[in-house]
Amino acid sequence: MMQPLTASHADHRGERTKRLYLSPPHMSGKEQEFIRQAFDSNYIALLGPMVEAFEHELAEELEVPHVLSTASGTAAIHLALRCLDIRPGDEVWASTLTFIGSVAPIVYERARPVFIDANAGTWTLDPDLLSEALASAAKTNGRLPKAIVPTDLYGQSCDLDAIVEISAKYGIPVICDSAEAMGTTYRGRKAGSGALMATYSFNGNKVITTSGGGALTSADEKLIQRARYLSTQAREPVVHYEHLEVGYNYRMSNILAAIGIAQLRVLADRVARRQQIFQHYVDGLGDLPGITFMPEASYGRHSRWLSVLIVDAAQFGADSEAIRQALEVHNIESRPVWKPMHRQPVFSGARTIGGAVADSLYAQGLCLPSGSGMTQSDQDRVIEVVRSLGALSLRRRPSMNEGRALNDHP
């Protein structure tokens, strides 16, 4: 008989040392029921009733009229750019503090990414910087971007209304990358709502997952129709396979949509749990000198997809990398804040507007395990390791006068 595959690092180590992942999938228990229904109907191929139902339920959740489910969040962004007819050489301005999936599709179209720094208070695209840069571009050479792609970061919405208002002055469309923001709110609306198009990811590490998958939304039906057409190989509606242009195989499969339906039903619980986890980190670590947390912008509710802290090494006595390594020794996964796009070798030639804020968040930021399935005692393991470093640093930190003595006699 076939042995079940397991990826558990815990098998030979016991509960205490089981690996704690950053943000593993968290199933509701109902997924297999929907998958079974999909199997029973034999809709194993790409499209089928689960896809339709998932898109319908997602539209209700996100309070948008039109939704296309896709193979990934990256595919959704690519389709959005195609819908806007982004051409080789066009500029697309995007957040520098993001994951590469947000901006890789700009390069797929041979367009040119320009990176914009984050605002220190929200960590998302700085609207003031955008406003100044657009005004100066309009004044000097008139070269304006064809689209703007701000990212909602770690569960915090960007200041979308401000970004849309500034961009609208120049007639520039906004695609909001809300991959990390399922369950996030912005001015009482769902994250992404208010952009011409918004994109979401259901990758395995997100608040809810379809294992891999994404979605593109818009209030404009024509845009979603166009994206739907492009996502199914730009196939003309005739019985033989007729193509007037080249598209993609970017649809979500019926089986994965079945998982998505079950996951959507627990979204509110998952977000509430992530927010609780964040609060427990604040309670457990917030008193340590040099430790602060990602702020929550006043305009919305942060889903706390990931709990992120900032380490001031001078005050804490150890830097974020030392904490990451100490956690790793205890079989706990943590990750630096996204390395900004303007620091990525692949984008070395790209223009950047600002960048110092993203640089410093990258240097000091650490994402802690945040999965909604983790227990309080899992979390206490993390807190214990970080606190032990802090305590060590407190003991070791020399005062101005005793520095030499401590260094000489460790």
Ligand X SMILES: Cc1ncc(COP(=O)(O)O)c(C=O)c1O
Residue placing its CB nearer to ligand X in the complex, 198 or 327 = 198
What gap in Å lies between CA 128 and CA 121, rounded to an integer? Answer: 12
Residue placing its CB nearer to ligand X in the complex, 201 or 334 = 201
Residue placing its CB nearer to ligand X in the complex, 74 or 119 = 74
The closest of 178, 259, 270, 164 to 215, measured between CA atoms, is 178
Q: Which residues have a Cβ under 8 Å from the Cβ of 310 and sit 6 or more positions away?
A: 291, 292, 293, 294, 320, 361, 364, 365, 366
Handedness of CA 366, 372, 373, 377 (dihedral sign): positive
How deeply is 293 buried, as exposed, middle or buried, from its count of CB atoms within 10 A (0-12, 13-18, 19+)?
Answer: middle
Minimum gap (Å) between residue 70 Cβ and ligand X = 8
Residue placing its CB nearer to ligand X in the complex, 20 or 103 = 103
Minimum gap (Å) between residue 204 Cβ and ligand X = 9
Minimum gap (Å) between residue 134 Cβ and ligand X = 22
Minimum gap (Å) between residue 180 Cβ and ligand X = 5
Minimum gap (Å) between residue 270 Cβ and ligand X = 16
Residue placing its CB nearer to ligand X in the complex, 64 or 176 = 176
Minimum gap (Å) between residue 98 Cβ and ligand X = 5
Phi-psi region of 85 (alpha: psi -120 to 50; beta: other; left: phi over 0): left
3-state secondary structure of 136: helix
- HEC assignment per residue over 188-201: CEECCECECEEEEE
Instruction: Tell me the one-letter amino acid at 42.
Output: N
Minimum gap (Å) between residue 184 Cβ and ligand X = 12
What CA–CA distances, in Å, run from 379 to 17, 21, 190, 280, 330?
13, 11, 29, 8, 12
Instruction: Tell me the one-letter amino acid at 218.
Output: S
Minimum gap (Å) between residue 315 Cβ and ligand X = 30
Q: At what angle do helices 254-264 and 31-40 cross, to 10 degrees?
A: 150
Handedness of CA 276, 277, 283, 289 (dihedral sign): negative
Residue placing its CB nearer to ligand X in the complex, 290 or 369 = 369
Residue placing its CB nearer to ligand X in the complex, 104 or 144 = 104
Q: Which two tokens stand for residue 104?
A: 């890789």
Minimum gap (Å) between residue 371 Cβ and ligand X = 15
Minimum gap (Å) between residue 281 Cβ and ligand X = 20
3-state secondary structure of 337: coil
Residue placing its CB nearer to ligand X in the complex, 102 or 320 = 102
Contact criterion met (CB below 8 Å) for 278 and 232: no
The closest of 142, 156, 27 to 91, measured between CA atoms, is 142
Residue placing its CB nearer to ligand X in the complex, 149 or 309 = 149
Please compute, for residue 279, the number of CA atoms within 13 A of its CA located in the half-sphere on the CB side: 8
Residue placing its CB nearer to ligand X in the complex, 126 or 180 = 180
Which residue is at the shortest CB distance from ligand X? 73
Interface ranges with ligand X (CB under 6 A): 72-74, 98-99, 101-102, 151, 177, 179-180, 201, 203, 214
User: Nearest 5 degrees, angle CA 303-CA 304-CA 310?
Assistant: 145
